[in-house]
């Protein structure tokens, strides 16, 4: 009498290389789709507002002295900090503010470089 499991064992041993190749192909397919998903997930979003809206919320171009970018933050030196409209900036995508005596820091998260370029370079 023949064992029931021998047919399955013979099949696996006889086709081991095909199974390994199929496993490797499957892993490459999974890795490809994970990479596609990850690259679209981490792409930074475009700023929500135009240059004029940012400048207006900061009190105009004449109110800006200088600014630097530090990771996910933009550090601004302004002539008059009273002209800053925080509500407009929040609607424009600014996440938070850090006000100090000599500077205003805008927390922008991932698109800080794009917002900085809109304000100072465009």
Per-residue model confidence (pLDDT) at position 26: 96
Question: What string of pLDDT tens digits covers the 122 residues of the chain?
Answer: 455 555 566 776 778 888 899 999 999 999 999 998 887 776 656 567 787 888 898 888 898 899 999 988 999 999 988 888 989 888 888 888 888 877 899 998 778 888 888 888 85
Residue 71 resides in a domain: yes
What is the number of domains present in the chain? 2
Tell me the residue range of the domain where 76 lies. 51-121
Same domain, 55 and 112: yes
Please indicate, yes or no, whether the overall pTM of this predicted structure exceeds 0.85: no
Together in a domain, 34 and 77: no
Residue 117 located in a structural domain: yes
pLDDT of residue 47: 65
Residue 1 lies in a domain: no
Provide the pLDDT for residue 113. 86
State residue 105's pLDDT score. Answer: 92
Q: Residues 6 or more apart from 111 whose CB is under 8 A from it?
A: 44, 45, 46, 47, 93
Shared domain for 18 and 57, answered yes or no, is: no
């Amino acid at each position: 009498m023949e064992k029931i499991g021998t047919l399955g064992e013979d099949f696996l041993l006889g086709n081991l290389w095909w199974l390994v190749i199929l496993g490797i192909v499957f892993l490459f397919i999974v890795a490809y789709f994970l990479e596609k998903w990850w690259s679209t997930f981490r792409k930074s979003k475009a700023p929500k507002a135009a240059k004029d809206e940012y400048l207006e919320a900061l009190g105009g171009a004449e109110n800006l002295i200088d600014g630097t970018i530090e990771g996910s933050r933009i550090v601004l030196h302004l002539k008059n900090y009273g002209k800053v409209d925080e509500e407009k900036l929040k609607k424009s995508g600014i996440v938070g503010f850090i006000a100090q005596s000599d500077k205003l820091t805008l927390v922008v998260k991932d698109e800080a470089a794009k917002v900085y370029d809109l304000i100072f370079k465009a």
